[in-house]
Structure 1
Amino acid sequence: MIKKLTLIAALSLPLGLIAEPAVSAELSQYTAGRVQRAHNLQQDEKLDEAIGLLEGLTPSRDYDKAYVQRMLGVFYWQQNNITKAISSLTEAVNSGLLQDEQAWITQRMLADILLSSEEFKQALPHYYALTENIPENQKADELWLRIAQSHYQISEWKKTISAINTYAKYAGEMGVEPLTIKLGAQLQLQQWKAALPTLEALIVLEPNKLVWWQQTAGVQLRLGQSKSALDTLALARRQGVELSQQDLKTLAQLYAQRGIPERAAILYSQLEGAESDVELVVLQAQYWQIAKEWDKSIAIWQQAAKLDNQYRWQLAQLLLQQGYYQQAITELDKVSGNKHGADVALAKVRAHYKLNNVEKAIIFAKQADNIESSSVSKSWIKYLSQKREMSS
C-alpha cells in the first residue's frame, strides 16, 4: 500500500492582500488612518511595528475588526507566526463582512495555511466554499487537488477519488501527484481493477520508477492475472528497470508456473548469492530438472551437495536415473544419517546391478531388508539370488 503522502503546500503570497490600498471607504476614519500607517510600515520592512500598531487597535465597528484581522493575518503569515495567522484569518473570514474583491483570496490563504499546517479537517470547509464562486483569474483544478489531498490525509478514500475526478475535469491530463493520490485511495478501497489504469498512466509518466511496475504486477496477481503479472515484470526488466531480488524471484516463479522452468532457473542463477545461498542453488537445480536439462541439473545438485550434504541424496538419485552408476555409488556412500537408509541401500542395489556386480547388489539388498524389510527388498534378494545361481 502507498504510504500517506507528505504534503508541502506551496503557498504563494497573496500579493493583492499585501499591496492593496490600505484604506477602504467602509472603514471608519480612525481605523483607516491606522491601517494606512501599518501598511506603510510593512512596505518599509518594519513588520514588527506594523503588527504592533494593528494589535493595539480596538475597533468598535465589526467591519473594522474584520478588516484589521485580515491584515494582521497576512502580516503574521509573513512573520511565520502560523498559529496567529490562522486565528486572525479565521476571524476575518467567519465574520462574513469582507465582501470586497480580496475576500476570496483571504479565504484561499486561510485554507492553504491550514493545509500546510496539517489541519486537514479545518481546511476542507474553506476549500469547498471557495469552489462555489471561483474568480476567472483563479484555477479550479488547484482547489480540487487540495481538497483531494485533505481527504486523503484523513483517510476519506471515496471522497478523495471523487475530488480527484473533479480535478481531472478541470485539469485535463493528470500528473504524477494527483495520480498517486488516486492510486493510494483505490488501493485502500481494494479497487484492484480500477487501480490498473491509474498505474498504467503512472508508468507512462515515470517509466523508470520501480514501484509502479511492482504495484502493477502485485495488483494483477491479486486479480489472478498471473500471465499479465509475468508480462509486466518481464517488460520492466527489458526496459532497463532494475528489479529487486524479490521481484526477480516472483518473475522466476511465474515463468515456472507458465511452464518455462528453464527461464526460472536462469533468473535464479542471476540473483545475488546464486552460487553460495544453498536455497537459491537448490531452486536452480530443481528448475533445471523440471526442464529435463539433466546434465545442468546434476551440475547444480553437485554444487548444492557441497554446500549442504543433505542434498547428496537428490544428486545420487539423478545420477542413477541418467545412468551414471559409478558416480551415483560414490555420492550414495556420502549420504549421511538414517533418513534414507533403506532407500540408499536399494539405490546401491540398482547401481551395482546395472554395473553387473551381482554379489555387491545382493549384499546391499540384504542390508536394505535388514534396515526396513519391504516387498521391494525381498524381490531384489530373490531375483538376484536366482540370477547368481543361474550364472554359477
Structure 2
Amino acid sequence: MIKQCALITVCLMSSLAVSAELSRYTAGRLQQANQLAQDENFKQAITVLRETNTSFDYDKAFVARVMAVFYWQDGQTKHAIEQMEYAVASGLLKDEQAWVSERMLADLYLTERQFKQALKHYYQLVEMMPKDHQKNDILLRIAQSHYQLEQWGDVVMSVKRYLHYDVQDRLQPLSLMLGAQLALNLPHDAITTLGQLIEIEPKKLQWWRQLSTLQMQVGKEKQALGTLSLAKLNGLALSQNDRRILAQLYAKQGIPERAAIEISQLEDAQSDIQLLVEQATYWQMAKQWEAAISIWKKAVHTDPKYNWNLAQLLIQQGYYKESVSVLDKVEGRRAGVALAKTRVYYKLEQLDKALSQAKQAERLEPSSQAKGWIKFLSQLDTASKHQKTAT
C-alpha cells in the first residue's frame, strides 16, 4: 500500500506540472482542482474537473488522468479505473506520463481483484519500461496476479524472472513460488525453495515442517529426520504431532531408543494411553525390555486390553509367576491365553496344569501348536510315571 500511495503521488505531481501542450483554460482548472484536493476536498476537486469543457483530446486525457487520482483518493476505485482507462487508451500521454498512468491503472485493477485486467497492463509495462526503471517490482505484481488466478506455471516463471534481479525482498516471491510448486506437485523443486525460505526465516516452524513432510513424501526420510531434529535443536517449539513424527523417523532409521525418549518427553506421556503404547513399542524395538515392561504396566492401568502385550513380554523375560496373574486379566484371546499358560506352567514345572491348559486351547481353537504341546506333555507325563514305577 505504501508503494501504491507513492505511485499515486508521482502520478499526481507529474500530471499537475503544467504541460506546454495543455490549453491555458484546462491548466487553470487543474490548478483549481489541485487546491481543493490539497485540503482533501476531493469531491469538489472532481466536480471542477468533470465540469471542465474542452474540445482538445490531449486536455481530455490529461484531465481524466488527474481525475482518476482524485477518485482513488476519495475511495472511488471503480471511477478511478474508468478515468485512467480513458487516459491510457487515448494514447496521447507520452513517455513517463504514459508509463506512470499505465502502472497506476494496473495497480487499481489489482486492488479491485481484477487480476486478468491487471496482468494485461503489467505485461504492457514490462514492454514499455523506461531505461532507468527496474522491472522487478512489476514482475512481482505479475507473479501475485497469476497466483490469484491459480496460474501456477506462470507464477513460477514470473518469480524466476523476478529473482534474476539482485532483489532484497525474496521472502514474498519465494512464498508464491512454493505455493505454485506445491499446486503443481513438484516436491523436489519445493524442497529447494523451502531451503531458501529457511535461510531467510530460520525461526518460522512452518517452513521446517513443510520441508520434512516433502522429504518424507519423496522417500528421503533420513533428511526429514535431520530437518526436524535441527528445527528442535534450533529451539523451535515443535508441536506434539511434530515430535511424534520425529519419533517415528528415529524408529525407521533404526534408532528406536531415541524414539522412545522423544515420546516420553511429551505432555501427558505418562498418562495418555496412545503415548504409553508408542513408548513401550519403541522400547521393545530397542530391546530395552525392562523399560518396555515398566511402560506396559502403566498402560494396563488405563486400558486392560494391553495386559496381553505385558504378559507376552513378561513370559519372554522369564517372569513366569507374575505373568500368570496378568494372563488372568486378559479379555478374549482364550485360546491364546491357554497356550501362553501352557508354556508358563511348563517353565514352572507344573506339568499337570500345563497339559490341562494345552487341552483347553485345543478345545477352544484346534491348532498344530496345541496338539504339539499335548503330545509333548503327555509323553513327559508317561515318561515320568515309568520312572516312578521303575524306582
TM-score after normalising by structure 1: 0.91
**Cα shift readout 1:34-55 (whole Å, capped 9, x = no counterpart):** 2232223323443222111111
Going from structure 1 to structure 2, the CA distance change for 1:342 and 1:68 (only over 3 Å counts) comes to same
Instruction: Say which of 374, 377, 383 aligns to 2:379.
Output: 383
Instruction: Say which of 269, 279, 282 aligns to 2:264.
Output: 269
Going from structure 1 to structure 2, the CA distance change for 1:366 and 1:166 (only over 3 Å counts) comes to closer
8 Å contact from structure 1 (residues 38, 54) kept in 2:
yes
Q: Which residue of the partner structure matches residue 57 of structure 1?
A: 52
- Structure scoring higher RCO (CA < 8 A, sep ≥ 6) equals 1
**Cα shift readout 1:52-90 (whole Å, capped 9, x = no counterpart):** 111123433322221111010011111111111111111
Greater mean deviation of Cα atoms: 273-282 or 286-295: 273-282
8 Å contact from structure 1 (residues 11, 112) kept in 2:
yes
**Cα shift readout 1:127-166 (whole Å, capped 9, x = no counterpart):** 1111123235543211111111111111111111111111
Q: Distance in 1 between matches of 2:379 and 2:301?
A: 36
Greater mean deviation of Cα atoms: 170-179 or 231-240: 170-179
Greater mean deviation of Cα atoms: 147-156 or 30-39: 30-39
Going from structure 1 to structure 2, the CA distance change for 1:290 and 1:210 (only over 3 Å counts) comes to same
Q: Which residue of the partner structure matches residue 293 of structure 1?
A: 288
Instruction: Say which of 188, 205, 230 aligns to 2:225.
Output: 230
Three-state SS of the structure 1 residue aligned to 2:357 is helix
Once the two structures are TM-superposed, the CA of residue 204 in structure 1 deviates from its matched residue by 0.9
Once the two structures are TM-superposed, the CA of residue 172 in structure 1 deviates from its matched residue by 4.1
Q: Which residue of the partner structure matches residue 215 of structure 2?
A: 220
Instruction: Say which of 90, 94, 102 aligns to 1:95.
Output: 90
Instruction: Say which of 181, 192, 195 aligns to 2:176.
Output: 181
8 Å contact from structure 1 (residues 362, 381) kept in 2:
yes
**Cα shift readout 1:215-249 (whole Å, capped 9, x = no counterpart):** 11122122211111111111111111112222222
Going from structure 1 to structure 2, the CA distance change for 1:267 and 1:303 (only over 3 Å counts) comes to same
8 Å contact from structure 1 (residues 9, 112) kept in 2:
no
Once the two structures are TM-superposed, the CA of residue 318 in structure 1 deviates from its matched residue by 1.0
Once the two structures are TM-superposed, the CA of residue 388 in structure 1 deviates from its matched residue by 4.1
8 Å contact from structure 1 (residues 11, 113) kept in 2:
no
Q: Distance in 1 between matches of 2:353 and 2:236?
A: 58
1:242 to 2:237 alignment: yes
Three-state SS of the structure 2 residue aligned to 1:171 is coil
Q: Which residue of the partner structure matches residue 41 of structure 1?
A: 36
Q: Which residue of the partner structure matches residue 10 of structure 2?
A: 16
Q: Distance in 2 between matches of 1:364 and 1:45?
A: 97
8 Å contact from structure 1 (residues 9, 115) kept in 2:
no
Q: Which residue of the partner structure matches residue 130 of structure 2?
A: 135
TM-score after normalising by structure 2: 0.91
Going from structure 1 to structure 2, the CA distance change for 1:332 and 1:143 (only over 3 Å counts) comes to same
1:371 to 2:367 alignment: no
Instruction: Say which of 351, 362, 365 aligns to 1:358.
Output: 351
**Cα shift readout 1:288-340 (whole Å, capped 9, x = no counterpart):** 11111111111111112111111111111111111101101111111122xx2
1:158 to 2:153 alignment: yes
Q: Distance in 2 between matches of 1:101 and 1:273?
A: 66
Moved over 6 A (4+): none
Q: Distance in 1 between matches of 2:159 and 2:281?
A: 49
Larger helix percent:
2
For structure 2, the residue ranges without an aligned partner over 5 or more in a row are: none
Give the paired residue count.
Answer: 383
Once the two structures are TM-superposed, the CA of residue 174 in structure 1 deviates from its matched residue by 5.0
Going from structure 1 to structure 2, the CA distance change for 1:75 and 1:281 (only over 3 Å counts) comes to same
**Cα shift readout 1:242-280 (whole Å, capped 9, x = no counterpart):** 122222222211111111111111122223332222222
Q: Distance in 1 between matches of 2:214 and 2:168?
A: 23
Q: Which residue of the partner structure matches residue 204 of structure 1?
A: 199
Three-state SS of the structure 1 residue aligned to 2:104 is helix
Aligned partner letter, 1:362: L
For structure 1, the residue ranges without an aligned partner over 5 or more in a row are: 1-7
Q: Distance in 1 between matches of 2:342 and 2:351?
A: 9
Aligned partner letter, 1:64: D
Q: Which residue of the partner structure matches residue 315 of structure 1?
A: 310
Instruction: Say which of 228, 245, 252 aligns to 2:247.
Output: 252
